[in-house]
Structure 1
Amino acid sequence: MKLLNFVQGGRLQLGIKTDEGILYVERALDILEDGKLNVPLSMQEVIDGGAGALQALQGLVDKMLASGAKGGALFDEADQTFGPSILQPGKIICVGLNYRKHAEETNAKIPEYPILFNKFSNALTGHGHDVSLAERVTSQVDYEAELAIVIGKEAKDVPREEALNYVLGYSCANDLSARDLQLRTAQWMLGKTLDGFAPLGPYLVTADEVGNPNELAISCKVNGETRQSSNTSDMIFHCDEIVSYISRHMTLQPGDVILTGTPEGVVLGCRKRSGCT
């Protein structure tokens, strides 16, 4: 299932991507007039409700698409304004230098342990939104296509073989980075968490639909040109290992987001190789 936040009535609402368009959950419930479905009305309620909430949403989709009144709750995706797929993460944890070819292109040593840093909620923005390049403070903004993990259950000291059972789903992310600020000191945070520097979405794709997150294609286009094209199999630390490792050091809560690193092809790597701009 592909869940999303989109603007209706001047505020963000929960939607579900279907083959026939975006299903507006609250409107669908109004049309069906069925209080027995016990369906979540927000992404936070989905996170809090876990598997039961997802089952209720699937039941709503099945019932709505089978009804004759579905048109009133279906919207053309191309006309929608998206919000971040997760709105209120308690933590946004990022993994640096987590693709072998990316580490190689930047002449960096392959890390022995996951390199962790953070972003904050001010960096979140939705799919298709403009992001200020903050030219007043930086002149070296870079893109980083990433797979984001969204935690679905409290995770503490989770063994690697069980780690993916704690994942609600996955999302696309862009770890926008101001390289001059990032490399100004030994701590990367300043260059990573400017306003809007964490586009997330458009969808939260549930774990059952994704399958194995360690075998996913990942790519990034800039002005129509493919700059990054790789596979999550090139990760140094895979998704299960990342969740397990972090959970041994801090408790992961439902709704926490983990950005898992970017493949080769970023501007920083190009500069390291040939001095390009």
Structure 2
Amino acid sequence: MRIARFSSGGSDPRYGVVEGAPGEEEILVVSGDPLFTPLNPTGERVPLVDARLLAPVIPRSKVLGIGRNYVAHAEELGNEVPAEPLVFTVPNTSVAGPGDPLVIPAWAGEELHYEGELAVVIRRLCKDVPKERVAEVVYGYTVANDITARSLQGPDQQWWRAKGADGFTPLGPWIETDLDPADVRIETRVGTGEDLEVVQDGRTSLMVHDIASIVAHVSSAMTLLPGDVILTGTPAGVGPVRAGQRVEVEVEGIGVLSTTFTAPE
């Protein structure tokens, strides 16, 4: 089931279930936030083409990222593969929606990188979750681009700015609740217009630490809340993005997340 957060015709953000074949999708509008209330269809249907998709979840608490979770990515940056999940936090203000443009901050320099990832959305309050019960606390999965100002990761030491700036965590296009994340393809494309080049092509089966291990590890130290998001790491192939380019991240079984980059005024 695909759960979208959207607006249409100037309305406030609403939620709905995306149904229908490609090119013919409609959003079956539901009342309330499905993370906190049972699905209750209102009967209204909105053609997907008439809706503006928003970030499918606005974390009320936190976004957590996992670094160096693919061997080839760790190697391409000259880093060791961590024995335990390498966890970092970014603020919820970094979240952006599908199609939202990102103005490249002047301080980001020439090394603003894309990082296509699978993201986990937490269903309920939980702590000390054993690996065999992680599926019980996962609401679903979405697509993420863990945008990183690479040249600032070292000098800042903390990644508060390199990964946590406004708009640096696009999510979307919706939450897929029925995905089996064990072995799905992650593909990132970069370019202008319709001329996009595949720059990342990996599979979640190549993760160093799988999703059950990640959630169990994180929840051993901190309480997870409904709507918390965990980014699960990026495959090899990261690189810079320039003003005027578009980055598409596609996760098999979910969909495509698109972000356009613009120069500061």
The alignment's TM-score, normalised by the length of structure 2, stands at: 0.82
1:47 aligned residue: 35
Give the counterpart letter for 2:187 in structure 1. S
Alpha-carbon distance change, 137 to 74 in structure 1, aligned in 2, over 3 angstroms = closer
- Cα distance in 1 for partners of 2:119, 2:60 equals 12
State the 1:243 CA deviation.
0.5
Structure 2: give runs of 5+ residues left out of the alignment: 241-265
Output the aligned Cα RMSD: 1.7
Instruction: Work out which of the two has the higher radius of gyration on C-alpha atoms and give 1 or 2.
Output: 1
Task: Name which of 80, 91, 95 aligns with 1:124.
Answer: 95
- Cα distance in 2 for partners of 1:230, 1:133 equals 26
Question: Number of paired residues?
Answer: 232
- Cα distance in 2 for partners of 1:232, 1:154 equals 25
Higher helix share: 1
CA distances 1:70-112 after superposition (whole Å, capped 9, x unpaired): xx6231x344321101023311011011111111211211101
CA distances 1:233-262 after superposition (whole Å, capped 9, x unpaired): 111110000000011000111111001110
Please say if 1:219 is aligned against 2:187: yes
1:252 aligned residue: 224
- Cα distance in 1 for partners of 2:140, 2:53 equals 18
Please say if 1:182 is aligned against 2:153: yes
1:158 aligned residue: 129
Structure 1: give runs of 5+ residues left out of the alignment: 26-39, 65-71, 269-277
State the 1:136 CA deviation.
4.2
Task: Name which of 41, 46, 52 aligns with 1:74.
Answer: 46
State the 1:12 CA deviation.
1.4
Secondary structure in structure 1 of the residue aligned to 2:15: strand
- Cα distance in 2 for partners of 1:160, 1:2 equals 25
- Cα distance in 1 for partners of 2:14, 2:141 equals 19
- Cα distance in 1 for partners of 2:132, 2:220 equals 14
State the 1:168 CA deviation.
0.4
2:250 aligned residue: none
State the 1:145 CA deviation.
0.4
- Cα distance in 1 for partners of 2:49, 2:69 equals 33
Secondary structure in structure 2 of the residue aligned to 1:146: strand
Higher strand share: 2
1:5 aligned residue: 5
Q: Percent identity?
A: 35
